[in-house]
Chain A
């Protein structure tokens, strides 16, 4: 099946630090990747949609200057949380899908971000 790798799995850092999270599709080319945020016992909230070679589309209320997304190739997207603060602490999950709008999204194992 489709495999999506996300790295790192856990980050603990000081307030004000910028953190980069990588999302790779290992066995397929992903024209579209997605970034989600999940709080404990809550559902996944879509933050942004990332298309290879173009600017990401952010959901309402998500600061694009705070959460920088780059999708430079068909197998790699990165999310950088700039100048992170404790309220940015969360579980961040990426997903990728094959071309075709009704293809299922395949998810990485998430990154637990803790800002002290």
Chain B
């Protein structure tokens, strides 16, 4: 069974204080790993897709990396508007195509 574990569960940073969120996964062949941002009372917003170990993608203050067992979401010099829950999900090569298995997320709070 595919599994996704995210840590930490919650993270509080001061503005400008860089950090990383972790997503560990177990999957029967990885088709893709996805990062989403979710604001309270809203649906997840797509950030990145990573397909193979060693791949990296960047968007503004966010950078996602991938190894064979985990992915990191690096946040450089965060701002208060980066406060949200960040979700990681995996898609397996086998089983139902397109099905995503989500982790429980990391709730990030960035303070002034």
Chains A and B are bound partners: yes
From known contacts A49-B96, A104-B49, infer whether A6 and B104 are also in contact, taking CB-CB under 8 Å.
no
Q: Considering only CB atoms and an 8 Å cut-off, how many residues of chain A contact the other chain?
A: 28
Q: How far is the CA of A93 from the CA of B43 in the complex (A)?
A: 7
Q: How far is the CA of A110 from the CA of B39 in the complex (A)?
A: 11
Contact (Cβ within 8 A) A44 B97: no
Closest Cβ–Cβ distance, residue A58 to chain B (whole Å):
11
Q: Considering only CB atoms and an 8 Å cut-off, how many residues of chain B contact the other chain?
A: 24
Contact (Cβ within 8 A) A108 B43: yes
Q: How far is the CA of A46 from the CA of B49 in the complex (A)?
A: 19
Q: How far is the CA of A49 from the CA of B32 in the complex (A)?
A: 18
CB neighbors of B among A71-116 (8 A): 93, 95, 97, 101-110, 112
Contact (Cβ within 8 A) A32 B98: yes
Q: How far is the CA of A64 from the CA of B48 in the complex (A)?
A: 32
24 contacts between A and B (CB under 8 A): A34-B100, A41-B104, A43-B104, A43-B105, A44-B100, A44-B102, A46-B100, A49-B96, A49-B98, A57-B96, A93-B44, A95-B43, A97-B98, A101-B91, A102-B49, A102-B51, A102-B91, A104-B46, A105-B100, A107-B36, A107-B43, A107-B45, A110-B41, A110-B43
